[in-house]
Amino acid sequence: MVAGAGTDLRALSRRVRRHVVEMVNGAQSGHIGGSLSATDILAVLYGRIMRHDPQRPDWPERDRFIMSKGHCTPVQYAILAENGYLPVEELATFRKKGTRLQGHSVLGKPAGVENSAGALGMGLSFGLGIRLGMRLNQTDAHVYVLMGDGEQDEGQVWEAAMAAAHHEVDHFVAIIDRNGIQNDDFTAAQMRTEPLDEKYRAFGWEVRAGIDGHDHEAIEEALAWARDVRGKPALVIFDTVKGKGVSFMENNPGFHGAAPNAEQFALAMQELAD
């Protein structure tokens, strides 16, 4: 079952982007840029690709989404809310006292969050472990792991890449949100990691790169391909724009982890209006 089948992805993505901006504005903290760059990918995953059921978040046969770049909780909580895992109104509690919706992902808070994250570099390993366990259980569900491009600097990512190929793990899909920016600056300035596609291929992965991470059809096509790769792990590298959807945030390293001021917030909501 795909919970979001039939959803209008354009409208959904727009709503999710508005939630993201409202949440970060409401908390006056949080990671807006990498949430907006990943919005369309998550919309397609939850709406078209993943087998999941918000009524049964513990269903052993569910596909798992692992948010490895655990600072991008705004988009994760928003997509979960739009899919019925939590009330949309609860998004307003993001990062506030007493909330379930912490700044970085905490397993089980809310149901649908499958891992604890925030320290970059661990999600691919955690997802790999899940898939190995599922394989032992003869469960044919898939594991999707979303990573950042800056996150590729972490050595553990490459340990996991090596091990996934060594163990011939399939039903295992890594996704890189290649928005070209990390915390302080452009990724090209912080640490050159390219060519990522050739590196993963050399590690034994099937790879598709250069996919437009804001084109819903292209995203769906690439993820459907990755889901069906057998005998190997699969990676899709999406070219995205950090801050996508809000003109002054787009491709702006200043909006990695900064909240908008009142004027910026009003402008952003105007740009994201239907």
Partner 1 sequence: MTTTLPSAATREALGPTLVRMQQEGADIVVVDADLGKSTSARTFRDVFPERFFSFGVAEQNMISAAGGLATTGHTVVASTFAVFAEHAFDQLRMSVAQPRLNVKIVASHGGVSTGEDGASAQSVEDYALFSSLVNFTVCVPADVVEAQAMVEAAIATPGPWYIRTGRPKIPVIYTDGPRFEVGKANMLRDGSDVTIVACGLLVGRSLDAAEVLERAGISVRVLNMGTIRPLDVAALEAAARDTGAIVVAEEHLTHSGLGAMCAQAIAASTQPVPMEFVGVNDRYGESGTWDEVLEIMGLTAEGVEQAVRRVVARKR
Please state, in angstroms and as integers, the Cα–Cα distance from residue 77 to each residue in 84, 89, 167, following that order: 10, 11, 32
| CB neighbour list of residue 161: distance below 8 Å, 6 or more residues apart | 124, 174, 200, 203, 205, 233
**Minimum distance of ligand TPP from residue 187's CB (angstroms):** 6
**Minimum distance of ligand TPP from residue 133's CB (angstroms):** 25
120 contacts which partner out of partner 1, Mg ion, ligand TPP, none, CB within 5 to 8 A by kind?
Answer: ligand TPP
Question: Is residue 77 within 8 Å of residue 23, measured between CB atoms?
Answer: yes
Question: Exactly one of 74, 148, 245, 253 binds Mg ion (CB under 5 A); which one?
Answer: 148
Three-state secondary-structure class, residue 177: strand
- Per CB under 6 A, 148 contacts ligand TPP: yes
- Give whichever of 39 and 141 is closer to ligand TPP, judged by the CB atom: 39
- Per CB under 8 A, 99 contacts partner 1: no
Please state, in angstroms and as integers, the Cα–Cα distance from residue 82 to each residue in 13, 17, 60, 89, 241, following that order: 10, 11, 22, 11, 23
Report which DSSP code applies to 49. I
Question: Exactly one of 7, 93, 99, 156 binds partner 1 (CB under 8 A); which one?
Answer: 156
Stretch that binds partner 1, among 21-29, 129-137, 175-183, 247-255 (CB under 8 A): 129-137
Per-residue mark of binding to ligand TPP, 223-242 (x: CB under 6 A): -------------------x
- Give whichever of 44 and 147 is closer to partner 1, judged by the CB atom: 147
Q: Which two tokens stand for residue 136?
A: 């032992």
Write out the H or E segment, with its range, that includes residue 143: strand 143-148
Three-state secondary-structure class, residue 172: strand
- Give whichever of 149 and 154 is closer to Mg ion, judged by the CB atom: 149
Question: Exactly one of 108, 110, 180, 257 binds partner 1 (CB under 8 A); which one?
Answer: 108
Q: Which two tokens stand for residue 26?
A: 């409401």
The four Cα atoms 168, 171, 177, 183 give a dihedral, to 10 degrees, of -60
- Per CB under 8 A, 168 contacts partner 1: no
- Give whichever of 76 and 83 is closer to Mg ion, judged by the CB atom: 76
195 contacts which partner out of ligand TPP, Mg ion, partner 1, none, CB within 5 to 8 A by kind?
Answer: none
- Per CB under 8 A, 122 contacts partner 1: yes
Question: Exactly one of 25, 83, 105, 179 binds ligand TPP (CB under 6 A); which one?
Answer: 179
Question: Is residue 4 within 8 Å of residue 212, measured between CB atoms?
Answer: no
What is d(CA 130, CA 91) in angstroms, rounded to the nearest whole number? Answer: 28
Instruction: Write out the residues near Mg ion by the rule CB under 5 A.
Output: 148-150, 179, 181-182
Instruction: Write out the residues near ligand TPP by the rule CB under 6 A.
Output: 31, 33-34, 37, 69, 71-72, 118-121, 148-151, 177, 179, 181-183, 242, 256
